[in-house]
Amino acid sequence: MRCSFGPRNGAVFTISPVNDTNLTSPHASSADAPTKFSAEPPLGKLAPSGSSAEREAPSVGAPYLKTIKSFVRRAGRITTGQSKAFEDLGEQFLLTYQPDTNLIDTINLIAPQAINTSTIAKNNTKKASFTSNPSNPVENPVVFEIGFGMGEATAHIAALLPETRFIACEVHQPGVGALLKRIGESLETEHPIDNIRIISHDAVEVIDHMLPLASLDGVHIFFPDPWHKKRHNKRRLIQAPLIAKLAARLKVGAYIHCATDWQAYAEQILEVLSAEPLLKNRADPVKDAELAGYSQKPHYRPLTKFENRGIKLGHGVWDVVFERV
């Protein structure tokens, strides 16, 4: 059975309980899709020449490993509230995946008046605005989040840091609906959250085809799927090639913050980030000495249900924060 729903502008979102790998969750046991090779996709347009980050681009014509996806399209029920949020807010808060379009230019064009005032409660005098400095939006930092789940942490952090613009990326449609709903609920309050825009697409493709080099002030990856079975480890999001791409898209001094409750993945994350020459660890070697390279939980990251679940299972939680040199 397929389930379709869509916003007023006619775009239709579809969820399907069946996916091409026959996996139902990152913990499922079916065989992975076979690895395929194909021609190199166009990358160049967004990369300024002479950048140290150019090393990430494979040579033209070279075969490249077709990406093994870090997610499966899980079956998920869209609630009535989420569906309504798609209808009411999708047009305003969803960004379209469009290869070879500069996503930062796109969000720089979003002005405060773009907010649909009909979604703001009549008694709310505080207007939502995507940028606190509309005449110079570039001054508002941009944080890219990969895999926000149901958007709990995203909404919390966006409310806490109203001057930061968040591009939140998630493939799970009920999660996208849930974050839209949270945004909608906030618009009814004195503290509307308007500093999030959602892109519902594979983050790896968004990075490759829409994010310019040295354009981000931060990256958040909280509780990425652990893919804990050995034969599924290759699906883990945080691996050297992705981190090289992300590092290249950070501005100098910008940060990447990962958190996980899966120890083996924490070790892999620390190892991969430590090996990336464009990054250095922000953990304080003296103050955080007992954390052995991991960081204290930054103040802005709330406890999510994934974290609580991990804690209940007796897992630790590891924060890894590096910055672009």
Q: Which is nearer to ligand SAM, 70 or 186 (CB)?
A: 70
The amino acid at 35: T
**Residue with structure tokens 């990430």?**
56
Which among 156, 111, 105 has a CA at the least distance from the CA of 130? 111
Phi, psi for residue 3 in degrees, rounded to 5: -125, 125
Residue 120 vs 222, nearer CB to ligand SAM: 222
Catalytic choice (88, 194, 208, 225): 225
Structure tokens at 16: 């399907």
Q: Which of residues 199-258 bind ligand SAM (CB under 6 A)?
A: 202-204, 222-225, 237
**Site track 152-171 with ligand SAM (rule: CB under 6 A), x = hit:** xx---------------xxx
Using CB under 6 A, which residues numbered 2 to 61 contact ligand SAM?
A: none
CB of 21 to ligand SAM, least distance (A): 13
208 is catalytic: no
Q: Using an 8 Å Cβ cutoff, are 229 and 29 in contact?
A: yes
Closer residue to ligand SAM, CB minimum distance, 54 or 267: 267
E strand segments, the chain: 3-5, 13-15, 37-38, 64-65, 94-95, 142-146, 165-169, 196-199, 216-222, 250-260, 279-281, 318-324
Looking at the Cβ atoms of 165 and 301, the one nearer to ligand SAM is 301
Amino acid at 126: K
By the rule CB under 6 A, 304 interacts with ligand SAM: yes
> Which of the residues are catalytic?
225
Binding residues for ligand SAM, rule: CB under 6 A, are 70-71, 146-149, 152-153, 169-172, 175, 202-204, 222-225, 237, 304, 306
